[in-house]
Chain A
Amino acid sequence: MRQIATGDQAAFAALYQALEGPTLRFIRSKMNDPHEANDILHEVFMEVWRSAGKFEGRSMVRTWVFGIAYRKTVDAFRKRGKVETRDELPEQIDPADAADMTLNARQEAVHLKSCLNGLSEEQRLAISLAYFEDMTYDEIAEVAGVPAGTVKSRVFHAKKLLAACMRSRIERAAT
């Protein structure tokens, strides 16, 4: 980051190559339109380029970049008048679309994905960062700009919902 702050374009290109994929996946997890996601990715890295001098090294570079991506994505939603503030909990995830089938690994994966999609935006964000990026709860808290306790609360409820959804699907598949 120090090199980038001095205007080193090669260092910036190397950072982009290292973080382009994870950052884009993170943006796409909140944004359905892949072209809009690409636009946001561009804006994120332009801000990284402009703000590299402000990076104080108190967090990992990846966490800092993801934090910028998070804010840019939220801004994009705001501009569209679609502010995602939902953090209330769905009572349960509807497993109604589970097909009757015995559960093998592949089908389990499909069920998991479906259950994951039933989580609230913020719960899914926490789980995505935990399992796509193997982030700690402190890192997730930094990305989302919330206290660590809030992240723990979100993953607690997410885990409860995921477990209930999966058990329900397994029971359906078994009958």
Chain B
Amino acid sequence: MTLLDQEEIDALLVFHANGTLNTQEREKVETALARDPDLSDDLSLLQALRAEMQEEALPSAGMLAQQRLMAAVKRTSQDVPAPVMEPQARKTSWPIARMVAVLAVAALVGQSVFVWRGAEAPGYELASSGAVGDLLVAFQPGATEEMIRETLLSLDLQIVSGPSSLGLYRLSSGEEQIGVQALAARNDVFESVENASE
């Protein structure tokens, strides 16, 4: 057997383990397997790897992601201009662009995120200070910077990162944990709210 033949057999062995070879290829591999015990060991290893990978549970983006997708599809179908969840549209049409700019500048200056915590608290906190966003939100396209600021202050919430390419922000709540339902009730400000861990 030439080196090229051996390479071909080794490559086909990977697909022998997932059962996707055609009859001719399968026969070629089985002939080689009968001749070479090392190849059988390799096949066992590959089969074990496949079995392990097949056992892994499938991830899910969650119900909210599906709702958001279907809403975007609906908007596209209705031919509504500037769909809200389209990343490019979000970036250019949001009235909170100024707020994003402030965050970007703060990040450039000191790898920090500017967070207002009230008169008695420090005015900023390093992004790496350990704050992990516990809520993931999208703001309503019509929400003004003032509305967002007042809502965040009244609920003791801070923006710790964002926007993502879809315009999502991570929020961290203060001492009192704010539930998803409480935020979702403020539908004049928030378009969507979910737990960041979901």
Known: A22-B58, A49-B76, A135-B20. A13 touches B10 (CB 8 A): no
Is B95 among interface residues, defined by CB-CB distance under 8 A? no
Q: Which residues of B contact A137 (CB under 8 A)?
A: 11, 15, 20
Please, what's the 1-or-0 string for B49-62, where 1 marks a CB less than 8 Å from any CB in chain A?
11011101011111
On whether the beta carbons of B136 and A163 are closer than 8 Å, the reply is: no
Q: Which residues of B have CB within 8 Å of A34?
A: 59
A109 to B49, CA, bound (A): 7
Give the residues from 62 to 94 in chain B that come closer than 8 angstroms, CB to CB, to chain A.
62, 65-66, 68-70, 72-74, 76-77, 85-87
As a 0/1 sequence over residues 13 to 25 of chain A, the CB contacts with chain B under 8 angstroms (1 = contact) are: 1001100111011
Residues of B within 8 A of A152 (CB): 7-8, 11-12
Interface positions of A from 117 to 173, Cβ below 8 Å from B: 127-128, 130-132, 134-137, 152-153, 155-156, 158-160, 162-163, 166
Flag whether A46 is at the interface (Cβ < 8 A): yes
Say whether B165 contacts A21, CB under 8 Å: no
Is the Cβ of A49 less than 8 Å from the Cβ of B58?
Answer: no
User: Interface SS of chain B: helix, strand, loop or mixed?
Assistant: helix
Number of A-B contacts (CB under 8 A): 128
Q: Size class of B's contact patch?
A: 35 or more
The answer, among A9, A41, A153, for a CB contact under 8 Å with B61, is A41
Asked if A25 and B59 sit within 8 Å, CB to CB, the answer is: yes
Residues of chain A contacted by B20 (CB below 8 angstroms) = 130, 134-137
* B contact residues vs A (CB 8 Å cutoff): 7-8, 10-15, 17-20, 41-42, 45-46, 48-50, 52-54, 56, 58-62, 65-66, 68-70, 72-74, 76-77, 85-87, 136, 164-166, 168, 196
Q: Which 8 pairs from chain A and chain B are nearest by CB?
A: A21-B58, A152-B11, A131-B50, A156-B11, A136-B20, A155-B14, A131-B53, A109-B52
Residues of A within 8 A of B (CB): 7, 9, 12-13, 16-17, 20-22, 24-25, 28, 34-36, 38-39, 41-43, 45-46, 49-50, 76, 108-109, 112-113, 116, 127-128, 130-132, 134-137, 152-153, 155-156, 158-160, 162-163, 166
